[in-house]
Amino acid sequence: MPLARLRSMFLPALLASVLMLAAAFYLEWGMALEPCPLCYSQRLFLGGFALVCLCAVVHAPGRLGRVFMRRWRCSLPRVERCLQPGMCGCKAGRWRTWDASHR
């Protein structure tokens, strides 16, 4: 049952990250705004986070997969592994905000 609860947490995160990427691409192509290089890096990290969330949502290991994950201790609920791309994007955005305010 814990895996089902974990999946339900990753679905809203996936939807939010996909919507943020869609809004960023709309602002770039629809409104003809030019993004900075750090915006590109944030999009890359947000895309990685969306990919991790997608894998977490559709992840359904069979019997062999559960045995492998228990043996090698690489189970999905490792939050630090799952959220790492999102945290890198947050750090890039924080640095960009600090850099813009100190010029």
Is the pTM value of this prediction over 0.75? no
Inter-residue contact 35 to 24 (CB < 8 Å): yes
Q: What does R_g of the chain's alpha carbons equal in angstroms?
A: 17
Nearest partner of 43 among 16, 11, 20, judged by Cα: 20
Least confident of 21-30, 35-44, 75-84: 75-84
Q: Give the span between the Cα atoms of 99 and 46, in whole angstroms.
A: 20
Distance of CA 39 to the CA centre of its chain: 15
Inter-residue contact 44 to 38 (CB < 8 Å): no
Using one digit for the tens of pLDDT, what is the confidence trace for 57-102?
A: 777 656 665 666 566 555 445 555 666 677 777 777 777 777 777 7
